[in-house]
Amino acid sequence: MAMALNRTGRDIVYSCEWPLYARQESHVNYTEVAEYCNSWRNFGDIDDSWGSVKTIVDFTAALQEQLVPAAGPGAWNDPDMLVIGNFGLSYDQQVTQMALWAIMAAPLLMSNDLREISKESTALLQNQEVIAINQDPLGIQGYRLLKVNNFDLWEKPLASGALAISVTNQQEIGGPRYFLLVRAIVWEGLACDTCYVTQLLPTR
């Protein structure tokens, strides 16, 4: 099918479902998948629930050594749809999914009813700075750098030389918690004497 589509001479995004089912039977070489498909599902269907989002993110992190090298311009690991604007996630959870899908360079496919979506969810889905991270020209899929004390730290190198960073508080009880970004962990290798940090979510 990939060869037939390429012979048309037209720009076509070819999304494959078979790696999802092949993975259930045996090991999948995602770098080889990227030779034939532009996008491929690597996990089961997402549900409109925070538990489902967390499961997919944890699965992606567990397989990141296989998934990250396969991603690039025209090649995307697909953790399934955004459930932002539906009914299963709180607003904070919607912000978290948007941030993580942007970091993972995941296809941003919406699953909501546009007649019912809230203004807050609409603004989140239309956040141009976050979309720019998702669609950065380097096409690098972000990866989980650190997991400690119920925090996940993800990073994604950008074409500008900057890093996009996502910090997720996985603890579901209690109030807000502080997370210290240690320079030696996060900014090692950046060619700058002074780093500027811009927070994009939940507010700029």
pLDDT at 43 over 90: no
pLDDT at 193 over 80: no
Q: What is the pLDDT of residues 7-16, one digit of tens each?
A: 999 999 999 9
pLDDT at 46 over 90: yes
Count of alpha carbons within 13 Å of 67, Cβ hemisphere only? Answer: 27
Mean pLDDT (whole number) for 165-171: 92
> What domains sit in the chain, N to C, each tagged with a CATH number?
12-186 (3.20.20.70)
DSSP of 93-122, one letter per residue? HHHHHHHHHHHTT----B-S-TTT--HHHH
127 close to 94: Cβ distance less than 8 angstroms: no
Mean pLDDT (whole number) for 102-129: 96
Pairwise pLDDT comparison (169 vs 191), residue with the higher score: 169
What share of the chain in percent tops pLDDT 90? 72
Mean pLDDT (whole number) for 175-187: 69
- Per DSSP bridges, beta strands 76-78 and 39-41 are parallel
Confidence of residue 175 (pLDDT cuts 50, 70, 90): confident
Q: What is the Rg, in whole angstroms, of the alpha carbon atoms belonging to the chain?
A: 17
Position 184 scores a pLDDT of: 41
Q: Supply the pTM of this predicted model.
A: 0.91
Q: What is the pLDDT of residues 53-106, one digit of tens each?
A: 999 999 999 999 999 999 999 999 999 999 999 999 999 999 999 999 999 999
